[in-house]
Each structure stands twice: as C-alpha cells, then as structure tokens.
Amino acid sequence: MRLDVAAIRRGCPNSELKSFHHLCGAELDHFRKMAATEGELTVACTQQAAQFSDEAGERPEAISFVNIRETAGWSRDGARAGPKMAALLASASIPAPDYPLVTLSSEGVILIYGRDEAAIEAGRLLADHLDVTVMLKQLEDTVPPAATVFPIVQGTIRSAKGHFGAFELAIDDYARPRPSSRDRFVLDTPRSGVTSRCDIVLDLSGGPPLFPAHDLRDGYLRADPKDPAAVLRAVLTARDLVGSFDKPRYVEVAPALCAHSRSKRTGCHRCLDLCPTGAITPVGDHVAIDPNICAGCGQCAAACPTGAVSYTLPPADTQLQRLRAMLLAYREAGGAEAVLLFHDSPHGTPLIEALARHGDGLPANVLPFAVNELTQVGLEAIVGAFAYGVSAVRFLLRGKPRHDVTGLTQTIAMAEAILGGLGFAGRRLATIETDDPDALGQHLTDIGALAAIATPATFKTVGKRRDLLRFALSELHRLAPQPVDVIALPQGAPVGAINVDTDGCTLCLSCVSACPTGALRDDPERPVLKFIEDACVQCGLCQSTCPEKVIRLKPQIDFRAARAPAAVIKEEEPALCIRCGTPFGVKSTIDRIAAKLEGRHWMYPAGDKRIEALRMCADCRVMVMSEQQFDPFKGVPERTPPRTTDDYLRERNDKD
C-alpha cells in the first residue's frame, strides 16, 4: 500500500514518525531499538502484534497497535488515504484507562436439559470433564443405559435465574428413575417446585430460551438438538468452563445521582426498560445493576440522564477525546467530508477486513471507530462528533442484532431532531444492518457529499456524560448553519422543560421535594415555585408526585438555558398570621380552605370566631385554642364502646 507520509505528518505534528517496508522481518532491529526507549510507542500493524509484543519484552509503557492497512491503505481510494491514516494513528495515541473486573467461578457442575438421546450423548462427551446431570422433559420412552455414569432425571424447567457459576432453576414434574428399570425408565412419583443449582446450563431442549437475550448470558449455552454441529460446538465450549474467569465490570452506578424513585413514586425508568438481560432491578429510590449478569450493551449508560450509570469500557470522556484526536488530525492532514463509522470488533472488524481484502475497501473519507458495543454510544458522542467536523455518522449493525437496540434507535432519533433543527440538511445519521461486506461498501459509497462545519470546534473536556453533552451542544449550536434557540425533542430525551397549569397549582411544593436534581426550587421567604431548565433531566418525578396532576414534561433543548436564571413558574401572596403577622402559607389556599369549612363543618359553624384560627400560624393557633378553652369534641355524642368477647359471655350468663 502507499503511505502518504507528508499527510500523516501534518495530521500528527507532535509525533516522531518513521516508516518501514518490512518492520516485522528484515527491519526488526529498528523496532527493538525503539521499544528499548522510553515514551509512548504506536505500531501501525495489528497482524504482527503478538510478535512485536514478544520482542518488546517487559517494556514499562504499553504499545498501542492500530490497523491502517485494511481500514485505509487496502482500498480503491488507498492513494488518498493519508489523512485517514493520520486520524487512526492520532486516535490510537489516546490511552484508555484501566477498567474494573468481575470474577466468576465455576466448579464444572453442568445441567444438560434436553428432550431425547442428543442430551444423553452430550453428557457422555462431557462426563470426563464436568460434573454432569442430564434432565429430559420426558423419560418414559428412553432406553436406560447399562451403567450409570451420570444422573439422568426427568423434569421441566419452569423458570431460571442467576448467572455463570450460580444458576438457580425451578423445576416441575421432577422424577428420578428407579434402578430396576429394564427396557424403559420407570420413574418415582413426580414432584414440582424443585430447585436445582448449577454452574453451567446446556439447553438442548429445542424450546424457547430460558433467559432474555440468551446469547449474552455467560454460562448458558443453547443449541438446536437437530443440528449435530451446533451441539458439538456447545459441548466443546462447555468443556472449558471450569475455574475462575474475569469479565469487565462494564458499568458503574452512583446511587446518589439516580432519579428512579422518591417517596415510593416512580420517576425515571429508562435503564430498566432498555436492559436486555434483566441485570437491572429497583432498590428503593435507585437501581442496582448485577455485574455478574450485565453483558455490557451500555444502553443504560447511554440513556441515563443524570450520569448515575456510567460506562467503563471506555468512559464517555475518553471516547470523546479519541473522537476529537481522530477528527482534528484528519482535518489537519487535509481530509474533508469525514464520515464516522461506528462498529464493534466481533462483527464490524471482520466485515471491514473482508471488504479490504476482497472488495474496494472503505472510501478514503470513512473513518472507522471501534467500540465495545454500538449501543454504548450516547448522544454526547454523536453531537461532539458533528461539532468536531464530521459530515455524517453511520452505525454498522449485524443483519440480526444479538439484542434489542431500542436505546440506540432513540439516541439517533434525538440526534436527528437536534441536527435538523440546527440546519444540517441531508441524511446525517443512519444504521447499516448487514453481514455482507459488499453491501457495506455500497452503502458507504452512496452517502455522497454532505457539507460539514466550516471551522470545527476544538474543545477538550472531561467529566460525566451530562457535562460532556452540555458542552458539546453549546459548541454545536455556536457553529451550526442555522442556529435556533429552542428545538423540540422526542419523548425520553434527557433534557427539557415542564408545563405547569398554574390555575390548578396550589404551591404545595411536593414537586420541589421530589426533584432529584434541584431543577424545581422554592423560596423560604415567599410562596413561589421556580424552575431551572438546565438542571432538568425529564425524570418525571415531579409529574408523578404532583397531587393536582398539573405538571407535564416538555422534552426540548433550549440553548439559552445554561445561562438563564431560575424562571418563576408561579408566585402568590403569602398568608400572614392575623395575630402576629408571621407568614405561614399561601393566602389563596388558606382562603379557599376557610370558605369550604365555614358553615359546612360542625367545628366551624357560620359566624363562629373559631374560623379565625385557620388564619393564624401554628404557634398562635395553639395559644388561642388554649385561651378559649376550645374543645374540638364538644357536642359530639359519645361513641358506643366496642363489644368484646367478655361482653357476650356476660350476657349469656345473665340469661342463664
């Protein structure tokens, strides 16, 4: 492939750049010398990464590897791919922070759940490696083996929960066969409600999967019993699932920031609705995420409006820094009309490599950006990318995704509303759902020319997703073709305002106490309700808490909100104590209560002075009632005492 060294140097001006023809072979000594020096080292080759790592030995700083061959050089546009190579190298130079790990342990206890001899055969293959139990839905028609190597029982799994190393199954119609079974199994009396615990589940039943998004549940293996090759693959996978295994803790949770619930009123439930594996559960006012079940789709973190849930692989600010480095280097190297292609490694990387080796390769203006899961990409990454100068963004999905991608669809819809409102014409955002490299290439070629921001932003920021989003939105608005102040957004947006029917609002301020972010505020001196739109996350707690039901959410983005003071939604004259003059409530509310009670309640007959107690503060009310010797139960007939068993027994004895 051709290397445009001059373009790469323009894009990476602060790096020492060296090019070679055969670095992993005849020129390997050059690599050894560079690996022996201190400092960051990036190698533009992933094919020989293992060889280079071995040659580097115990180097203090890790080596970054980046593929510029299949992603750039091997292309019909390879001669013009210099700016893209600079962008890929610049992105790889951003170090990724370490992420926490979760350890799962398995002692090799496996339950093979099936319907016929295929499950028993799988048990024979695994008997020398694992602690096997085979459970069939029906056992009467099965021929007993001559020797019992592992238990074979009957049962139907009613429900399943848990994770790799700690599965718990609820089983009905459980029955063990009698040892005296001859040509057919003879069973003991079936029992239901039996609980079974195991480390691994191999499901060969041919029925519906036991777990939602079953492909993402570690330790749960499922294969069609009619497909011998699939069964064998599952058996070989199960054989190695013994010991301790580390998996990333994909998300971190800050319960104090969670807006799920307050006072047993449910507010935000975005993450609960989106989690495909059921790893998220409510725990009081916040949610908890089981790291043993979490498969790392990242939809919870992308949708969380407060930043209570954050992704770790990598964090959102690191991802945005990589995008910044990539796009700024691309522009400095002379690139134009950049198209950002988000993809994952298991599906997207092989597809891009196949297109490079057997097709036209990626166009020179398409910048591939690998992420752990496409659904982890949040609104801040898309908005930031356009602020940094991309002309379009595409998401490369599987032809049949492994799990629901509703969260990504919602994110794209919100981004489209923002871009359209700011004057970005054309199809700027889309998904590419294919497993065909040629279809991928054709789609990217058909994007066409779309104008980007003339002078892109260069901001660099750190922090939680909401801080990143706030800053990226302000920069995009500043540079947009047609900036406007307010843009309506779809339902579920993490920013917005509220509509309050002020005629029905009584200024009870229940919404203020429920608001988790302080967007709704009161004033200790006066009956007033204030709203700060920049702090609103559209969690809905104010709406569900309001006793008068006069609050409605209004998803939108107001670019003036960050600099706007608190807006007064409703303000009324305070009620002053008629005795001491102390403000103690809302005058209209006190007047309304007094009007409803006077002459209509036995405690406040028409014209009685006791009604004046309602217009006093709590201290004065107590003093007046004491001075007047006010008895609230005066005139109330005495209630008949409750009858007890002794009363009935006494009456019976008197009759006798």
272 burial (CB, 10 Å; 0-12 / 13-18 / 19+) is: middle
The Cβ-side half-sphere exposure at 631, using a 13 Å CA radius, reads 4
Torsion angle of the four alpha carbons 409, 395, 372, 223, in this order, in degrees rounded to the nearest 10:
80
- Only one residue has tokens 């080759």, namely 45
Higher-pLDDT residue of 96 and 630 is 96
Section 549-578 average pLDDT = 94
**Per-residue confidence at 144, pLDDT binned at 50, 70, 90?**
confident
3-state helix/strand/coil string of 531-600: ECHHHCCCCCHHHHHCCCCCEEEEEEEECCHHHCCCEEEEECCEEECCCCCCEEEEHHHHHHHHHHHCCC
User: What count of residues does the chain have?
Assistant: 656
Bin 358: left if φ > 0, else alpha if -120 < ψ < 50, else beta: alpha
Section 212-241 average pLDDT = 96
Cα gap 297→216, rounded to integer Å: 9
pLDDT at 124: 95
3-state helix/strand/coil string of 366-385: EEEEEECCHHHCCHHHHHHH
CA angle 45, 51, 53 (to 5 degrees): 85
pLDDT at 612: 82
Q: Is the pLDDT of residue 233 over 90?
A: yes
Residues of the chain with CATH 3.50.50.60: 103-246
Cα gap 383→472, rounded to integer Å: 6
Residue 349 near residue 402 (C-beta atoms within 8 A): no
Q: Is the pLDDT of residue 117 over 70?
A: yes
Percentage of residues in the chain having pLDDT higher than 90: 79
pLDDT at 602: 67
Q: Which of 122-126, 358-362, 608-612, 650-654 has the lowest mean pLDDT?
A: 608-612
pLDDT at 592: 83
Section 20-36 average pLDDT = 94
Q: Is the pLDDT of residue 130 over 90?
A: yes
Section 477-490 average pLDDT = 96
Residues of the chain with CATH 3.30.70.20: 251-311
In order of 119, 120, 157, 431, the CA distances from 148 in angstroms are 15, 11, 23, 54
pLDDT at 614: 86
Higher-pLDDT residue of 366 and 464 is 366
Section 277-295 average pLDDT = 96
Cα gap 150→244, rounded to integer Å: 24
Cα gap 268→553, rounded to integer Å: 12
254 burial (CB, 10 Å; 0-12 / 13-18 / 19+) is: middle
Residues of the chain with CATH 3.30.70.3270: 496-571
Answer yes or no: CATH 3.30.1360.230 is held by domain 251-311: no
496-571: what fold? Alpha-Beta Plaits (3.30.70)
Residue 187 near residue 179 (C-beta atoms within 8 A): no
Section 463-482 average pLDDT = 94
pLDDT at 631: 67
Section 453-481 average pLDDT = 93
Helix, strand, coil percentages in the chain from 3-state DSSP, rounded to 5:
35, 25, 45
Section 243-264 average pLDDT = 96
pLDDT at 632: 63
pLDDT at 185: 87
Q: Which of 361-365, 519-523, 555-559, 619-623 has the lowest mean pLDDT?
A: 619-623
Section 490-514 average pLDDT = 94
Superfamily of domain 103-246: FAD/NAD(P)-binding domain (3.50.50.60)
| Residue pLDDT, tens place only, 585-642 | 888 888 888 888 887 776 777 777 778 888 888 889 888 877 777 666 666 677 788 8
Question: Average pLDDT over the chain, rounded to whole?
Answer: 93
Q: Name the token pair of 22.
A: 């055969």
Residue 510 near residue 541 (C-beta atoms within 8 A): no
Q: Which of 105-114, 397-406, 445-454, 603-612 has the lowest mean pLDDT?
A: 603-612
Section 173-185 average pLDDT = 89
Q: Which pTM does this prediction carry?
A: 0.89
pLDDT at 636: 65
- Only one residue has tokens 């115990």, namely 58
Percentage of residues in the chain having pLDDT higher than 70: 98
Q: Is the pLDDT of residue 161 over 90?
A: yes
Q: What b/e readout covers 203-221, taking b as 16+ CB neighbours within 10 angstroms?
A: bbbeeeebbebbebbbbbb
